[in-house]
């Protein structure tokens, strides 16, 4: 199990820190929470970097507050994956005259701004990479991001911008992984040394969901567990934790453990990251998976 890293997507999720189920009483600071979390788990996925550019200062602090063998996976900023953002999510000097287009959000299309965002993102996480604590940068593309020639160019452009960093791609549109396109998609990622992110999410009759396909395209395998909340998965105007409100049972986790164990024999390392946040559901599931795989 030495090459299997289990953790959660965030250690400061509001729904988690609002409970007393994981962090001991008295552990109330960012530093205290990270030190405690990293004493239990070997890795974490930084989710806050999706909503705003990370800072070099925080990266240095994270490195200092965690064990030498701890690993951070960093989620790409929304601009980098062509999601809509609120203008205030951009640094002030990059906002210019950008105006919101839909529901207070804007889609950044200016290539100079995009390139600068990538540059600043890399600069911010460099202290983690230098200390060998960086896993992969997670590119979660939006549900409308279909498999077509332009989309392939966008992924390759991200790979070019992130030269020197390992990136992984999670799809949220079925066109990439349906039976007719699956092999081609995985070959594309394999040929370009981009990690395929295995996603377990609710299955509904909609193009905005993807099947759970266990495979690897680099020497890193990466699982993201989002839960199976079918009712809320595509619902609009709800809080994020409501979409991921699901706790896996023991049998489901045993099936995942079997997949993880099998693929761990083919790759250098495996990440199993729980994103089913509501309260401490993700924490409990991660701890249970650790137990199963340790037996």
In order of 17, 135, 144, 177, 282, the CA distances from 249 in angstroms are 23, 28, 31, 26, 12
Report pLDDT for 102: 60
Query: What pLDDT sits at residue 39?
Result: 98
Instruction: Say what the pLDDT of residue 277 is.
Output: 86
Nearest to 55 by CA among 126, 144, 141: 126
Q: Residue 227 maps to which CATH number?
A: 3.20.20.410
Give the integer Cα–Cα distance in Å for 102 and 104: 5
Q: Is residue 243 within 8 Å of 232, Cβ to Cβ?
A: yes
Tens of pLDDT along 236-260?
877 777 788 899 999 999 999 999 9
Residue 237 is predicted with a pLDDT of: 79
As a whole number of angstroms, the distance between CA 47 and CA 278 comes to 15
Total domains, the chain: 1
Report, as ranges of residue numbers, the positions in the chain whose pLDDT lies below 50.
none
Q: Which pLDDT value is given to residue 55? A: 97
Which domain covers residue 86, as residue numbers?
4-294
Yes or no: say if 140 and 76 are a contact pair by the CB < 8 Å rule: yes
């Amino acid at each position: 199990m030495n090459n299997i890293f289990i953790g959660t997507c965030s250690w400061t999720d509001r729904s988690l820190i609002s409970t007393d189920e994981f962090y001991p009483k008295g552990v109330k600071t960012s530093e205290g929470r990270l030190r405690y979390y990293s004493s239990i788990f070997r890795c974490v996925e930084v989710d806050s970097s999706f909503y705003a550019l990370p800072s070099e200062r925080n990266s240095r602090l994270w490195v200092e507050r965690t064990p030498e063998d701890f690993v951070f996976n960093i989620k790409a900023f929304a601009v980098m994956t062509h999601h809509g953002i609120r203008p205030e999510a951009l640094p002030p000097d990059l906002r210019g005259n950008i105006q919101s287009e839909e529901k207070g959000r804007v889609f950044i299309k200016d290539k100079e701004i995009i390139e600068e965002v990538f540059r600043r993102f890399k600069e911010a996480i460099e202290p983690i990479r230098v200390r060998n604590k960086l896993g992969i940068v997670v590119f979660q593309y939006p549900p409308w991001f279909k498999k077509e020639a332009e989309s392939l160019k966008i992924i390759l452009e991200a790979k070019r911008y992130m030269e020197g960093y390992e990136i992984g791609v999670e799809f949220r549109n079925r066109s990439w992984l349906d039976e007719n396109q699956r092999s081609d998609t995985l070959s594309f990622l394999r040929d370009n040394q981009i990690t395929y992110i295995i996603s377990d999410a609710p299955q509904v009759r909609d193009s905005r969901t993807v099947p759970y396909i266990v495979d690897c395209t680099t020497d890193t395998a990466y699982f993201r567990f989002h839960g199976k909340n079918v009712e809320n998965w595509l619902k609009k105007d709800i809080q994020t934790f409501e979409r991921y409100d699901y706790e896996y049972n023991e049998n489901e986790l045993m099936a995942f453990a079997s997949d993880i164990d099998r693929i761990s024999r083919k790759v250098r390392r495996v990440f199993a990251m729980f994103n089913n946040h509501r309260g401490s559901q993700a924490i409990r599931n991660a701890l249970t998976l650790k137990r199963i795989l340790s037996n």
